[in-house]
Amino acid sequence: MLDNFNFRIIFEYLPLFLNGLKFTFLISLVALFLALITGIIACACRISSIKVLKYPVIAYIEIIRSTPLLVQIYFLYFGLPTLGIRVPEIQTGIIALMLNSGAYIAEIIRAGINSVDQGQIEAGLSSGLNYVQRMRFIILPQALGVTVPPLLGQAIVLVKDTSLLSLISVVELTRSGQTMTSERFMPSEAFLTVAFFYMCIYFCLKALADWSQRKLIFREAY
Amino acid sequence: MIEFKGVNKWFDKLHVLNQINLMIPKGEVLVICGPSGSGKSTLIRCINKLEPIQKGEIIVNEMSVHKPTTNLTKLRAEIGFIFQQFHLYPHMTALQNIMLAPVNVKKITKVEAEKIARQKLERVGLSEKADSYPAQLSGGQQQRVAIARGLAMSPEIMLFDEPTSALDPEMIGEVLDVMVSLALEGITMCVVTHEMGFAKKVADRVLFMDEGKIIETGKPTDFFDNPKTERAADFISKILTH
Ligand SMILES: Nc1ncnc2c1ncn2[C@@H]1O[C@H](COP(=O)(O)OP(=O)(O)OP(=O)(O)O)[C@@H](O)[C@H]1O
Ligand SMILES: [Mg+2]
């Protein structure tokens, strides 16, 4: 099969792919950063006892989790303009990814917080530590440990999800493959190359996840 | 001083504390015993408001514990609580565990807090374990660190909820020794325990609970040797054969 592959064409189109890779990387980075902030805020609301914060956030998380990302992207892509909000496709895409990953990240952080033994919280309470102090000194340091690996997992998902933005004509890695395919009908070469670059990103993130995992195992065993 | 005035508490329909009236004067060592599920833990957990109550009033050092305006931080800083499962913070060393509340609640300096922490560790016989993490300590040592953590706030009252029940038999003695020395120092103590030896040695009074009610109170020797009620007699014969 490889005999039939035209590698020359891949090199010819390399600048296009590298440009796509650059945008995939940047979009992922910005979306992940915003999703982390969204997730932290959403989680804070989700676990608070204030009903006007808690219930809207529960609704948000459930809506995101129960609908496909592509539908969410299309909803924003076609929906925002009807509300009079006109933003470039790339920003629409980043907002969609931010809202989507933010909901999952909120749940990841919440699981981390819930993993801290209730007894330690009571120990903190009974020595007079207030809510912020219990969070800061008892809950978050321990929650962080269990949260990092799933967060990196979510980062990997987010990078792959950026490929859906090609459907609203955002220039990124998958879009580069589509462009090459439409100019020179060579989809195998195009998408093999695209896949290769996604794999590169994946293995970098996975190495990071494994490294943090080793750190955590070390932490638990002391 | 702790006073319960007509305290009632329900978990849903379950009446866990039924019309509790109780006066614990300053310096008293009170042992609370009774069958499983009788409400012993709930009773002492209400004293520092780890549990809310639905009726009645609890007064600790002139403060009404369950009044919304009460300064809970101040109240809790005066009461040490020791749990059956120790509940040390696993990501902190013994020393850090002990220093956390003095530094952040009492706002004393780290230097001062460390001095106090080392004193308290010495007090429970664990000077050399200052830099150990909980996972590196035995159950008995963990419980002694937990007691040192409670003492570091210089509380007037110490509450113990079955402090030795999670320990292997050979470690019970070391924890009880620390508790006996505390009792002899005159600190006010409420101890939920079935350790009759401890009760006979240092308790001023034993309180027997069943089904959320105080059934009987008395001097330890009277209570264990001549219980007044059938239920208490039955309970004592069970812990003796145990
Ligand atoms: N958070 C809770 N929610 C509902 N019911 C509870 C809760 N905590 C305790 N109970 C119930 O209240 C009753 C009294 O519990 P409590 O823990 O005070 O008993 P105890 O005398 O300490 O028992 P043990 O010797 O087993 O520790 C039990 O029937 C228990 O099942
Ligand atoms: Mg109990």
Q: Confidence band (pLDDT; 50, 70, 90) for B186?
A: confident
**How far apart are the CA of A41 and the centre of ligand 1, in A?**
35
**How far apart are the CA of B213 and the centre of ligand 2, in A?**
15
Q: Angle A14-47/A187-221 helices, nearest 10 degrees? A: 40
The alpha carbon of residue B47 is apart from the nearest alpha carbon of chain A, in Å, by 10
Q: Which of A115, A118, A122, A127 would you mutate first to test chain B, the one with the most B CBs within 10 A?
A: A127
Q: Distance between CA B15 and CA A213 in Å, rounded?
A: 47
Percentage of residues in chain B having pLDDT higher than 90: 89
Q: Give the pTM.
A: 0.83
User: What integer is the mean pLDDT of B18-37?
Assistant: 94
ipTM of the complex: 0.91
User: What integer is the mean pLDDT of A180-205?
Assistant: 91
3-class DSSP state of B32 = strand
Left if phi > 0, otherwise alpha if psi is -120 to 50, otherwise beta: which for B162? left
- B93's tokens: 């060393």
Residue B242 has pLDDT above 70, yes or no: no
Q: Distance between CA A115 and CA A132 in Å, rounded?
A: 18
Residue spans of alpha helices (H) in B62-219: 72-77, 94-104, 110-123, 139-151, 169-185, 196-202
Q: Distance between CA A222 and CA B3 in Å, rounded?
A: 44
Residue B104 has pLDDT above 50, yes or no: yes
Strand partners, B188: B157
Distance of CA A185 to CAs A12, A178, A189, A191, Å?
A: 14, 10, 9, 12
Residues of B with CB under 8 A from a CB of A: 48, 50, 72-74, 76-77, 79-81, 83, 85, 87-91, 100-101, 104-105, 133, 135-136, 146, 149-150, 153
- Which pLDDT score, from 0 to 100, does residue A220 have? 45
Distance of CA B16 to CAs A31, B154, B191, Å?
A: 51, 31, 18
- A90's tokens: 């790339």
The alpha carbon of residue A220 is apart from the nearest alpha carbon of chain B, in Å, by 8
- Which pLDDT score, from 0 to 100, does residue B25 have? 95
Check A127 against B101: CB less than 8 A apart: yes
**Whose structure tokens read 């309970």?**
B235
Check B76 against A130: CB less than 8 A apart: no
pLDDT in tens, B28-85: 999 999 999 999 999 999 999 999 999 999 999 989 999 899 999 999 999 999 999 9
Please say whether the beta carbons of B131 and B93 come within 8 A.
yes
3-class DSSP state of B98 = helix
Strand partners, B82: B160
CATH number listed for the domain at residues A7-221: 1.10.3720.10
B52-82 burial, b for 16+ CB within 10 Å, e for fewer? Answer: ebeebebbbeebebbeeeeebbebbbbbbbb
As a residue count, chain B comes to 242
Q: Does A137 touch chain B (CB under 8 A)?
A: yes
- Which pLDDT score, from 0 to 100, does residue A217 have? 54
pLDDT in tens, B121-171: 999 999 999 999 999 999 999 999 999 999 999 999 999 999 999 999 999
Mean pLDDT of chain A: 90
Mean pLDDT of chain B: 93
